[in-house]
Amino acid sequence: MKWITPYYLVFMLGAWLVTDGWQVIALKHIDPAAQVTFLSLEFSQITFIWLVRAFLVAAILFINFAVWWAWRNRSSQGVDHARA
Amino acid sequence: MKQRENWGSRLGVILAVAGSAVGLGNFLRFPVKAATYGGGAFMIPYLIAIVFLAIPLAWMEWTLGRYAAIHGHGTGPGLLDKMFKKPWAKFAGSFGLFAPTFISFYYVFIQSWLLAFAWYSLNGQLLNAVQSNTITSFFGDFIMLNTKIGPIPAAIFFFVITFLANFSVLAFGVRRGIERLNKYAMPLLLLMGVGLLIRVLTIPGIEAGLAYMWNPDFSALTNPRVWIEASGQVFFTLSIGIAVILCYASYVKKDEDLVLSSLSAVGTNTFAEVILSGTIVVPLAMILYGANIAEVAQMGTFGLGFQTMPMVFGKLPLANLLQFVWFSMLFLAGMTSTISIQQPLITFCEDELKFKRLKSIAAVAIFTGFGAFVAIFGLAGGALS
């Protein structure tokens, strides 16, 4: 648990990044000419997937804003925790 | 510090964590991966990954969940804040919120397909599609929102029912909602699985499929991809690394044996995956495609679950019933998993934002509903890519 699990984990993650991960992240498997329709709007598929990724980043920022908000309120109530 | 809820019993928590783990990955993803990467040979790296990755990481998440609960937290931000006492820590912990929540964006939609197909099994539409050899277009039209119930796409109709059902369970809380659901759903799911298993084992000619799944071709083990995919499957199937177990474990009573509970949950999941799914799906699919296992693998996760399996069941007596049992089993597996990936954000709202239960449910429902909207209407565009 102390040695095998972390190295196994890092090795598998590294192997995935080299074999598949980079292809997926860089959208190498998507045909650049492919077009899609979303709510009657036309996009190239690559643009659309990047827009979806932007949506996910926005969702991450929103969740982190909620985290910041929660700790800010705890600060004002004098709860013991790390600095907001 | 506000008193947090607890699971009512050890059986309840084991079934809830097992319910989180036993999902569509067990019955749809695992068979495709096993079929693609050597059948029996895939089982060897898979079981090694269970021992060296899954069990230690599950123990770790259970322990972190208990540690978080001692300090009044049940999710990543509170846990990491307490552990590292640095301003960045709570933001790093938000990974444990958005990872499961993002999965729920599309997972609920897929779960709703299962409800729809269980319904289509009962009313005979699925069997008609199988018999008229139009199952591919039947499935495609449904998920692309072309099948309508009146003016409403059928997929949207079933999605709304599924979405409301999930949040209705969550609204009752950990003990009266999640635990109670799992206490009924998990035994029923396993019963359905064992019923299908017995039926499959009595089909003439099933031996070839069983041989493929249970006789390892050791030469496949030299392919590094087999090892990567087996490890990936372990993460996917056991919901480890995304703080779902951590959240569930934060509701465990202080005197509960975490090691035993964790092993029981992992064991239940492995039984469902290796014994039930491994014996039912690939051998059954090979009856349709013969020894052409590459064709089984090419069907993909959804092709195998939503087209191949109904086609094979369609050739057997009591076809409607078998199709219904198959999709109902998957729906229960999907539901117990979905509520587990929606719970961390609800827990965060309750523990950190100090929302009441129903306000938390409403906030998370709006947030995940918005994400699901993108997944549903962006499906054709590759939103899930």
Cα(B326)–Cα(B235) distance, integer angstroms: 24
Confidence at residue B282, expressed as pLDDT on a 0 to 100 scale: 83
User: What domains are defined for chain B?
Assistant: 10-377 (1.10.4160)
Question: Chain B partners of A82 at a C-beta cutoff of 8 Å?
Answer: 81, 84-87, 89-90
- Amino acid (one-letter) located at B50: I
Of B91, B225, B381, the CB nearest to A67: B91
Q: Count of alpha carbons within 13 Å of B198, Cβ hemisphere only? A: 6
Positive or negative: CA dihedral B10, B258, B44, A14: positive
Mean pLDDT of B89-115: 95
Q: What is the mean pLDDT of residues B326-336?
A: 96
Is the model's pLDDT at B374 over the cut of 50? yes
B276 within 8 A of B193, measured Cβ to Cβ: yes
Taken in order B86, B88, B92, B97, the sign of the CA dihedral is: positive
Q: Which of A15, A38, A56 sits opposite B224 (nearest CB)?
A: A15
Query: Residues of A with CB below 8 A from B82's CB?
Result: 81
DSSP B153-188: EHHHHHHHHHHHHHHHHHHTHIIIIIIHHHHHHHHH
Segment holding B95, helix H or strand E: helix B95-123
Least confident residue range of B93-107, B184-198, B221-235, B329-343: B221-235
Residue of A nearest to B228 (CA): A12
Extents of the domains making up chain A: 1-30, 32-84
Chain B residues within 8 A of A35 when measuring between CB atoms: none
Q: Is B224 on the interface with A (CB under 8 A)?
A: yes
Using 50, 70 and 90 to split pLDDT, how confident is the model at A78? low
Longest dimension (CA), chain A: 57
Strand-pairing partners, residue A41, are A38
What is the structure's pLDDT at B1?
A: 62
ipTM above 0.90, yes or no: no
Q: What is the pLDDT of residues A16-38, one digit of tens each?
A: 888 888 888 888 888 888 888 88
The mean predicted confidence, pLDDT, of chain B is 91
If you average pLDDT over residues A35-60, what whole number do you get?
89
By the 8 A CB rule, do B227 and B84 touch? no
What does the pLDDT read at residue B321? 95
Tens of pLDDT, residues B112-145: 999 999 999 999 999 999 999 899 999 999 998 9
Nearest to B143 by CA among B385, B330, B381: B381
Q: Between A27 and B107, whose confidence is greater?
A: B107
- pLDDT in the model for residue B40: 83
Cβ of A83 within 8 Å of Cβ of B87? The answer is yes
Nearest to B252, CA basis, from B94, B40, B61: B61
| Min Cα–Cα distance to chain A from B76, Å | 10
* B380 and chain A in contact, CB less than 8 A: yes
- B354 vs A73: CB contact, 8 Å cut-off? yes
Summarised one tens digit per residue, pLDDT across range B181-214 is 999 999 999 999 999 999 999 988 888 888 888 8
A84 pLDDT tier (thresholds 50, 70, 90):
very low
Question: Residue B103: enclosing H or E segment and its boundaries?
Answer: helix B95-123
A6-17: per-residue pLDDT in tens? 887 888 888 888
- The residue among B90, B368, B373 with the most chain A CBs within 10 A of its CB, best to mutate, is B90
- Residue B213 · residue B31 · CB < 8 Å: no
Confidence of residue B2 (pLDDT cuts 50, 70, 90): low
Residues B301-325 have a mean pLDDT of 91
Is pLDDT at B385 greater than 70 in this prediction? no
- Closest residue to B381, CB basis, from A48, A59, A66: A48
